[in-house]
Chain A
Amino acid sequence: MDYSNLRRQAASMKKGLFDQGHLDEQFRQVEDLQDEASPNFVEEVAVLFFKDSGRLISNLEQALEKYPRDFNRWDAYMQQLKGSCSSIGASRMKSECMSFKDNCGKGNVEGCMGCLQKLKREHAILRQKLESYFQLLRQAGPTGAATRPVM
């Protein structure tokens, strides 16, 4: 197997994630924390992020239904999700979080709903792209295939 080609593909994929605005500098900060003692740190943080963000989105959806026009509550949920996005550098998702909060501030229900749908799309896109990226990294690594964590 051509490992150097796989590594090039992974690097290109990662560049694409930055160029397309899915990730920002914080992702590099997280990468910088990966070392021999924590060789899978980035992927572990990503798994944690998708578990966390999935839960927060679900909580928010329930809140939208159960507490109509409770913009303070909706905003509080979105603030948590925004913080989670910041931790891994999920830039596009973070922008949608901020738009949602903006709409909460204006009391715009339709705006909030629209932002949430965009957020869910960005979440799904980022998840798929990062899954592919980490899969490629695993293939390109010196030991080849590794146990695949559930994202």
Chain B
Amino acid sequence: MDRRRIRVLLVEDEEIHRVVARAVLRAAGVEVEEVENGAEAVRRVRESGAGGGSGAYNLIFTDKQMPVMDGHEATRQIRAMGVATPIVAVSSDSLPPDVQAFITAGANDFTPKPLTKEKLGHILAKFGLA
């Protein structure tokens, strides 16, 4: 797949994590959009032509703890819209209950912070975006 056509939504409130994740994603050649909380993520997904299955993004990375709306709730709401876009949680809270909470909310996968080139490669391959 032409990586330039892969649109990724990065949902992360902490600047340092956004900067590093953005660099990893851009190095992979994908198009990145960023928001700083779950509510903004839900809005972007809704406004980007969500519904009918896949929405406008090919992949969503979301943190857990964020102001306004956290990653769990954002994941739940995105799924409630009928959006099937793969959602990968990226969080420092990586104990089994944290991971399970995300999966229960509707996330497809979980990776501990920070996002790296190697992790991204596995994720893109897993969801057929490599």
Contacts and interface: CB of A to CB of B under 8 A. Distances in A.
Interface of A: 26, 29-30, 32-33, 35, 38, 41, 44-45, 48-49, 52, 76, 79-80, 82-84, 86-88
A132 B66 CA distance: 34
Contacts of A83: 14, 17, 92, 113
B23 A48 contact: no
Nearest 4 Cβ contacts at the A-B interface: A83-B92, A33-B23, A87-B114, A48-B16
Given A83-B92, A87-B113, A52 B15 contact: yes
23 contacts: A26-B114, A29-B114, A32-B117, A33-B24, A33-B27, A38-B23, A41-B23, A44-B19, A48-B15, A48-B16, A48-B19, A49-B16, A52-B14, A79-B65, A82-B92, A83-B92, A84-B16, A84-B17, A86-B92, A86-B114, A87-B20, A87-B113, A88-B16
For chain A, what secondary structure do more than half of its interface residues adopt (helix, strand, loop), or is it mixed? helix
A82 B15 CA distance: 14
B19 A45 contact: yes
Interface string B58-74: 00000001000000000
B93 interface: yes
Interface of B: 14-17, 19-20, 23-24, 27, 65, 92-93, 113-114, 116-117
A87 B23 contact: no
B16 A45 contact: yes
B23 to A, nearest CB: 4
A84 B117 contact: no
B19 A79 contact: no
Contact of B17 (A30, A35, A79, A87): A87
Contacts of B113: 83, 86-87
A32 B28 CA distance: 12
A80 B92 CA distance: 8
Contacts of B92: 79-80, 82-83, 86
